[in-house]
Chain A
Amino acid sequence: MLWKKILAVAVVTGAMLLPALAEQPQVAMYGYHSEVTVFWDPAYSFSNEIIWMHNVYETLLRYDPFTDQFQPVLAEGYERSEDGLTWTFYLRRGVKFHTGREMNAEAVKGAIERTISLGKGAWYIWDAVESIEVVDDYTVAFHLKYPAPMDLTVAACYSAFIFDPAYDHDWYLQGHDSGTGPYTIERFEGNTLMVLEKFEGYWGGWEGNHFDKVVFKTVPSPSTLRLMVESGQVDIAYQLPVSDIQALKDNPNVRIVHTPSFQNLLALFNTQKPPLDNPLVRRALAYTIPYQDVIQGVLAGYGRQARGVVPYGLWGWSDRVKQYTLSLETAKLLLSEAGYPEGGFKLLLTYVSADENERRVAELWKSQLAKLGIELEVRGMPWDSQWELGQAPDPTKRQDIFLFYWWPDYAHPHSFLSAMFQTEEEIVFNLCYYSNPLYDELITRAAELAGIDRAESINMYVEAQNVLMEDVPGVSIYDMEYVRAVNAKLQGYVDNPAYPHVVWWYNCWRG
């Protein structure tokens, strides 16, 4: 009889344990090298927090740069007027904010107006908006001051979230959220841990495979992050050193995903300080960059040489834009023409000191310049110091070459072409101090056409980039690829460079 008792106890215990096992939530984990939250308010989020905010908050549309198409999210459809000055969006019905209120035209208007009135973050993407009209409960119209591609604006990575406008910054700082997304904040720990749980009332429903919870965690040590990916503790990791990526390539538990990004490395020349005030010298320098050595030696092949200023994959990139190659002979001819046959001058290059890739690019470049008798001083500085030197009132006190990355606030080439090269009264990011009225006119026209005639807009952006390639106020060296180490079992993950480092966890599951 004893065995019967044992069996009975085993069955009862098993029956008690089974639900416990079944109830084990599906948890995903994202290992991030830096703080997972910097800004708390969705109206002016402008930093790392987008990695979780895009799972909590949604935009009206989502942009797919690979197909140049928009996916409906909170807006099911939209149309624009002939003159491109009125854009009407038709909202999805039956969507609830996590606060319980309904998402409707009034709320959309309120959210965007709050973003604009706060004037923080990337609010300037709404610059073209003159007024927002609530046509009916589920229709909202944007009336513009000038034609602009509002489909790109409402799908922007920053400052385009639709949230319940009834709350203020302090409320968000307490760890609350007011989004419509599939996940909502469960809890957080300072700026290094964010735990999201599924929002039962999500409009997309919860049928099929989805994670119940998603954990975003700061893992500052690359060696620890690598071990976490190898052991399956982390489902996705970004910013592992290239050497670790190479080592992880052969690990069957890890998949390496690399996608062209919209981030590129640029060298901006000081066009107001001799000898780089001479376009011939600047053109010569563009011929001295060892582009291929950089791609192979610094990026281990995870990147491509830039063509123009707009990165590969973003509309506005074109093979009709001139591309420089390494040619010391051509550089020498140009230098001779400019009056420097033996070089004989010294240049100061500044870069962000923590960035190993920038340092290695600068060192490779330095060795090429030395062959032409040009001495390059490579100076690593904290970002704000580098920037402050770049803004020094006297142009001759500034650096000669400013090495840094650029990425767009929304998927628009204008971000690259205006911020760094358009005439600026007060220097912010035009760190080549370049001013060319013809160029300014071209990009202004191109931006206006972007919302009406995309093909013509691209033509003008190509022409503008060729003006830059002729004047060489700066050179874009490479377009980066985002390289991520992903748990081999993770399914449904697609990297979208228009939303850097964002994973839409609702679409992912573990196979």
Chain B
Amino acid sequence: MFSYIARRLLLALVVVFGVLVVTFLLTRVVPSDPAARWVGPHATADQIAAARAELGLDKPLYVQFYRYLAGLVKGDWGISIRTHRPVLQDLGTYLPATLELILFGLFLAVVVGLPLGVLSAAHNNTPIDHLSRLVSIAGVALPTFWLGMILQLVFFKQLRWFPLSDRLDMMVELLSPVKKITGFYIFDSLITGNLPALKSALWHIFLPGLTIAAYPLGLAVRMTRATMLEVLSEDYIRTARAYGVPETNVHGVHALRNALGPVLTVLALTFAYSLVEAFLVESIFTWPGLGYYASNAIMTVDYPAIMGVTLLISLTYVFLNLLVDVSLAFLDPRIRLG
């Protein structure tokens, strides 16, 4: 087991290195002058030349890459061309907001998606099944940006049930600011007993969370339904039924446990996908997260920030994959890693 994990970690390093090389080259192929961006508009030729030297852009490409890698090892992820702050510091500021949003979205997807999938399989080809299939197809098919705006129009503009944007109500943010421990507002306000902030945070995360949840929720329903139907036709289920095990137990315990493996794998992988989805959702809901930071970095060819975000996302992908493989081995005794 440990040699397996060690081997996978080594492989992960190779993958991440490859991603870094490709991203580094891609950001340099795009015609752009980071030095000109660094000094701002209306800069003089001398100022741009000075910035080029300051940023090391006058050195050959391989030297620049070597410097970047050497910096990474020392925990220096470079300085963002656009924000003029260390990239690692920027990521630290924006990442918790995104993680909170995605985790909340996935939580919704699991809490709603799994029971709906089970229900759908249990009532195969009935109106309940048709309805849940409609929900799942809509969740997967609706474009995020459209869904986000429609939710805003309906639940904010028309009904006034939920707030329009941001992580907290501005007055709450000013009068009962959340003491930052993890950067997750719901968690931090809960453990510090900051009730106004907790209420506001939950209220604010709902619409963007639902938008993020749509895709994994759709997937969860479909995957659960499909794997449940497969498992329900197995012999041991027939045996269980023959022994008179109640139907709810057959579905909820015996079938679901065996159907869960593939669903969890897919959901874990959608976590990384949701990171990308967050690009749009965060812009629409003014959610100060990584997606907003990354989309701005891409639009302005802010290469240190692009590298930082790419590195972070690829690390997430690689480690989630590993985590899923390892945890599946625990869940399913038939899987042996080696």
Alpha-carbon distance between A261 and B177 when the two chains are bound, in angstroms: 38
Q: Is B321 an interface residue (CB 8 A)?
A: no
Q: Are A385 and B32 in contact (CB under 8 A)?
A: yes
Closest-by-CB residue of A relative to B91 is A190
Judging by beta carbons under 8 Å apart, are B170 and A228 in contact?
no
The one of A191, A218, A233 in contact with B85, judged by C-beta atoms closer than 8 angstroms, is: A191
Instruction: Indicate the member of A191, A195, A354 with the most B CB atoms within 10 Å.
Output: A191
Can you list, as one digit per residue, whether each of B79-91 has a CB less than 8 Å from chain A (1) or not (0)? 0001111000010
CB of B94 closer than 8 Å to a CB of A: yes
Q: Provide the B30-57 mask, 1 if CB < 8 A to any CB of A, else 0.
A: 1111101101111111110010000000
- Minimum distance in angstroms from B167 CB to a CB of chain A: 9
Asked if A217 lies at the interface with its beta carbon under 8 angstroms from chain B, I say: yes
Closest chain B residue to A215, Cβ basis? B170
Residue of B94, B286, B288, B296 with most partner-chain A CB within 10 A: B286
Task: Check B165–A224 contact: CB distance below 8 A.
Answer: yes
Q: Determine the chain B residues whose CB is within 8 A of the CB of A389 once the complex forms.
A: 31
Asked if B45 contacts A426 (CB within 8 A), the reply is yes
Which one of A35-43, A64-72, A488-496 contacts B?
A35-43
8 Å CB contacts to B: which residues of A55-91?
A: none
B166's closest neighbor in chain A, by CB? A217
Question: In whole angstroms, how far apart are the Cα atoms of A29 and B165 in the complex?
Answer: 14
A221, B174: Cβ atoms under 8 Å?
A: no
Q: Which residues of B contact A120 (CB under 8 A)?
A: 39, 47
Interface contact A119-B50, CB-CB below 8 Å: yes
| A321 shortest CB reach to chain B, Å | 23
Q: Which residue of A lies closest to B42 (CB)?
A: A409
Q: Which of A40, A122, A193, A385 contacts B84 (CB 8 A)?
A: A40
Is B318 among interface residues, defined by CB-CB distance under 8 A? no
Q: Is A142 an interface residue (CB 8 A)?
A: no
Q: Which of B149-157, B255-263, B326-334 contacts A (4 or more CB under 8 A)?
A: B149-157
Assess the A124–B44 pair: CB atoms within 8 A: yes
Q: Determine if A190 and B83 form an interchain contact, defined as CB atoms under 8 angstroms apart.
A: yes
Inter-chain contact A387/B33, CB cutoff 8 Å: yes
Interchain CB contact under 8 A, B44 and A46? no
Least CB distance from B300 to A in Å reads 8
Residue-wise, chain A 21-36 has the 8 Å CB interface mask toward B (1 for contact) of 0001101010000010
Within A273-289, which residues are at the interface with B (CB < 8 Å)?
Answer: none
Contact A384 B33 (CB under 8 A): yes
> Which A residues are CB-close (under 8 A) to B83?
35, 37-38, 190-191
Q: Are A224 and B164 in contact, CB atoms less than 8 angstroms apart?
A: yes
| Residue in contact with A228 in the complex, picked from B32, B47, B164, B300, CB distance below 8 Å | B164
Q: How far is the CA of A280 from the CA of B39 in the complex (A)?
A: 38
Contact of B94 among A37, A121, A190, A385 (CB under 8 A): A190
| CA distance in complex: A140, B172 (Å) | 46
A124 and B44 alpha carbons, distance in the complex (Å): 9
- The answer to whether the Cβ of B283 comes within 8 Å of any Cβ in the partner chain is yes
B97 CB to closest chain A CB, in angstroms?
Answer: 9
Distance in Å: Cβ of A421 to nearest Cβ of chain B: 15
B32: chain A residues at CB < 8 Å are 382, 384-385, 388
| Contact present for A121 and B164 (CB under 8 Å) | no
- Asked if residues A388 and B42 are in contact (CB atoms below 8 Å), the reply is no
Residues of B within 8 A of A47 (CB): 40-41
Find out whether the CB atom of A219 lies under 8 angstroms from the CB atom of B44: no
CB distance from A60 to the nearest CB of B (A): 22
- The answer to whether B171 has its CB under 8 Å from any CB of chain A is yes
Is A428 an interface residue, CB under 8 A from the partner?
yes
A192 touches B292 (CB 8 A): yes
- Extra contacts, 6 of them, besides A47-B40, A233-B164 (Cβ < 8 A), are A119-B46, A191-B82, A220-B283, A220-B286, A231-B164, A388-B32
Return 6 A-B CB contacts under 8 Å, by A number.
A220-B283, A220-B292, A224-B164, A224-B285, A233-B170, A382-B31
B-contacting residues of A (Cβ < 8 Å)? 24-25, 27, 29, 35, 37-40, 46-47, 119-122, 124, 173, 187, 189-193, 195, 213, 215, 217-221, 223-224, 227-228, 231, 233, 354, 382, 384-385, 387-389, 409, 419, 426, 428-429
* For the complex of A and B, 8 pairs with smallest distance between CB atoms: A46-B40, A190-B93, A385-B31, A384-B33, A384-B32, A191-B83, A220-B283, A192-B288
